[in-house]
Structure 1
Amino acid sequence: MFRRLLFSAAAVTLMAQAPVISFDKTHHDFGRITPDRKVAHKYKVSNTGNAYLSITQVRPSCGCTYTMLGKWSLAPGESTEIEAQFDPKGQKGSVRKSIEVVCNDPKTPNISLTLEAEVVQEIMPSVESVYFHQAPKSAASRSQVRYASGNGETVQILDVKAPGAPFLSFGFKPEGKDVVLEVTFDGRKVPAGQFRGVEQAMVKFSNAHTTVMPLNIQWDLKPAIQSSPAELVFQDAAGKELRQKLTLKQAEGKAFRITGSHPSLQGMRVEGISQKGGTTELTVVLPATVKAGRYSEVLALTTDDPDQPELTVRVVALLK
């Protein structure tokens, strides 16, 4: 009987012996950091159990986090440190990473350590691209970009250049530690025959780590000649000739001539062209030879207007 009790007590004692992993903290916030600043934090890990603790793996969630472990095996009551180094290069905004720790603690064989940071650029532009959509040919359009300080230092622009784009000009003014860049697009300086484009301006700063930043500028001109209606729709029975009026107006009221028509549908033609000042009226004819069906076509018209040598009108036909 005594032996049974002795063996039972020993078995209970053996079963009660186990390692217990514990940390002083499992999360660390680095706060605001810049991409060129590597940071590190040490997590204190302890064995609060009554058997040896063996840490078998320490796995970061990505290659931007590097870890070092002081000791892989801890006696009861012993402590060590897991150092996590984070490289924010290439990161932007709020970042959260994790480190998985694997050990022989029977109750907690896996535990996740986390770290976070807000990665801020030395200079943070409000936008990376500026769009001038349907900009007028006869006037200037403007847009602004704010370059905000991400590290508390004053942002200073030294110069802005956009090679090969004489229609772009730049001005800038400080606002606190930020600087506001004003981009001016002057449609009057766009070379004849150009109606859209993508330019790249190089913004030069006096700041230590960010000396130059590109700014993409996309633009297209408002059509000098506009059609009314913008789209012609023919909806009728097949087998008969169909006609619709089309009015073209020059935005500045300048006189222009239609020099040619190029329909995508065989047999479609233009006739009855009449002009009065900056307005031209014509008739688009859909021939009786067009069979029943649904058609989506384009009528291309050429003009002698240097600001609009060609314009296209969409033509839709629903014939039964």
Structure 2
Amino acid sequence: MIRRLLFACAAVTLMAQAPAIHFDSFNHDFGRITPDRKVSAKYRVTNTGNAVLSISQVRPSCGCTATVLGKWSINPGESTELEATFDPRGYRGQVRKSIEVLCNDPKTPAVTLTFETEVVQEVMPSQDAVYFNTARTASAHATVRYASGNGDPVKITEARAPGAPFLAFTWRQDGKDALLDVAFTGRSVPKGQFRGVETVTVRFTSAHVPQLPLDVQWELKPSVVASPAGLVFEGNAGTDLRDKLVLKQAEGRAFRVTGMSCSLSQVRVEGLLQKAAPQQELTIVVPASMKAGRYSETLALSTDDPDQPELTIRISAILK
């Protein structure tokens, strides 16, 4: 009986001796900062328990945050500081990050600290890229706003995209902001090119932000459109399988289909070299000579349309 009482008293004593982690604050607001200036915050941690508090890990949510802990072991009643330094390079706008602190407090083994800020650049673009998808015979426009982040007027001095004669730029002021107008002319795209990404260098009078890149992604809509966009054949091997393919010139111009090539040599195309017309009807033939199996092939058709000299059709076949 006495032995059981001694064990019970020892257990109560051990349970009563425990560390307790306490932070004076769990969040810090840096307010508005610029991306060229690191900022730091200190979180005061106190051991309010009656046993040594051991902090085992301090884990920031990303590599942009560095931490320094004053002491990893804290006696009862003592305090130390956890300093967190945030590097805002590459960030823009509202940012919220966290830091997880792991320790031997049996009631609170993990504590999450947070900080927030608004990263403000002297020049803040409304977007980093624009996209054009238009016919070769058409033009398109887009506008990018470069807003003032510090109250000083934003002024553009130059916008250039070497090797892209189909892009033109003008700029104007809108209060303290600058507006860049980007014009895309499909007719100026070199023959044989149908899509691409151009990097525009936009220069400013700002000493801290002398220039920013702007990506222009563009794609020309097909001049000749295939219907359907792909063909699927399913049937028995040993018999010809046929399907119709209609090609239509988007602007109603007459054209001819002048040739074909296929990744599977047995595939035939009937109706080549017909009289020029705004619409051409072809018959695609998967011949009886093909063996049973599954096929995924590419059919390339050439035309005399200057804006669409070639188009590609996907062909799938399941032969039993």
Same fold (TM over 0.5): yes
User: Alpha carbons of 1:290 and 1:179: their partners in 2 closer, same or farther (altered >3 Å)?
Assistant: same
For structure 2, list consecutive stretches of 5 or more residues without a partner in the other structure: 1-15
- What is aligned with 1:140? 139
1:239-250 to 2 correspondence within 5 Å?
239-250=238-249
Task: Let me know the Cα RMSD of the aligned residues.
Answer: 3.9
- Amino acid corresponding to residue 96 of structure 2 in structure 1: V
Distance in 1, matches of 2:106 and 2:217, equals 61
1:191 counterpart residue number: 190
Hey, what's the Cα distance between the residues in 2 that align with 1:142 and 1:203? 17
Match of 1:165 in 2: 164
Equivalent residue of 1:188, what SS?
helix
Change (3 A) 1:246 1:91: closer
Q: Does 1:272 align with 2:271?
A: yes
Partner of 1:37: 37
- Which residue of structure 1 aligns with residue 5 of structure 2? none
Question: Which consecutive residues of structure 1, in runs of 5 or more, have no partner in the other structure?
Answer: 1-15
Q: Which residue number in structure 1 is paired with residue 11 of structure 2?
A: none
In 2, the alpha carbon distance for the partners of 1:41 and 1:233 equals 63
Please state how far the C-alpha of 1:95 moved relative to its aligned partner. 3.3
**Aligned residue type for 2:195:** R
Work out whether residues 126 and 146 of structure 1, in 8 Å CA contact, stay in contact via their aligned partners in 2: yes
Q: Bigger shift: 83-92 or 207-216?
A: 83-92
Give the TM-score taking structure 2 as reference length.
Answer: 0.74
Matched, 1:175 2:182: no
Partner of 2:303: 303
CA shift for structure 1 position 180: 2.9
Shift of 1:111: 7.3
Greater Rg by CA: 1
32 and 238 in structure 1: CA distance in 2 versus 1, 3 angstrom threshold: same
Q: How far does residue 128 in structure 1 lie from its aligned partner after superposition? A: 1.7
Taking a change above 3 Å as real, the CA distance of residues 24 and 136 of structure 1, as seen in their structure-2 partners, is: same
Secondary structure at 2:191's aligned position in 1? coil
Q: Is the Cα contact below 8 Å between 2:255 and 2:304 reproduced in 1?
A: yes
Q: What CA distance in whole angstroms lies between the structure 2 residues aligned with 1:146 and 1:315?
A: 45
Aligned mates of 1:68, 1:146 — CA distance in 2: 43
Q: 1: distance between equivalents of 2:53 and 2:79?
A: 12
The Cα of 1:206 is off from its aligned counterpart by 1.7
Q: Secondary structure at the match of 2:291?
A: coil
User: Equivalent residue for 2:314?
Assistant: 314
**Take 1:276 and 1:259, find their aligned partners in 2: how far apart are those partners?**
10
1:118 matched residue in structure 2: 118
CA shift at 1:79, angstroms? 8.9
Shift in CA distance, 302/64, structure 1 to aligned 2, threshold 3 Å: same
- Write the distance in 1 (CA, Å) between the matches of 2:164 and 2:173: 25
CA contact (8 A) 2:243 2:284 kept: yes
Instruction: Give the CA deviation at 1:243.
Output: 2.6
Structure 1 residues 283 and 88, CA gap change in structure 2 (3 angstroms) = closer
Q: Residue 285 of structure 1 aligns to which amino acid in structure 2?
A: V
1:256 corresponding residue in structure 2: 255
Q: In the comparison of the two structures, how many residue pairs are matched?
A: 300
Letter in 1 for 2:88: P
**2:137 counterpart letter in structure 1:** S
Give CA-to-partner distance per residue, 1:126-167, whole Å, 9 cap, x none: 32222223x211010122323233333332222111101010
Partner of 2:203: 204
Identity over aligned pairs, percent: 54
**What one-letter code is carried by the residue in structure 1 that aligns with 2:255?**
F
Judged with a 3 Å threshold, the aligned counterparts in structure 2 of structure 1 residues 40 and 271 are, in CA distance, closer, same or farther, namely closer
| 8 Å Cα contact 1:144-1:181 kept in structure 2 | yes
Q: Please, what TM-score do these two structures have when normalized by structure 1?
A: 0.74
Q: CA deviation at 1:21?
A: 8.6
Q: CA deviation at 1:251?
A: 2.3
Q: Which residue of 1 aligns with 2:13?
A: none
Q: Deviations over 1:238-282 (max 9, x none)?
A: 322233332222223333333321122232112233224333333
CA deviations 1:198-238 (Å, max 9, x no partner) are 11100111223111111111212111111223222333333
SS in 1 for 2:162: coil
- Is the Cα contact below 8 Å between 1:132 and 1:218 reproduced in 2? yes
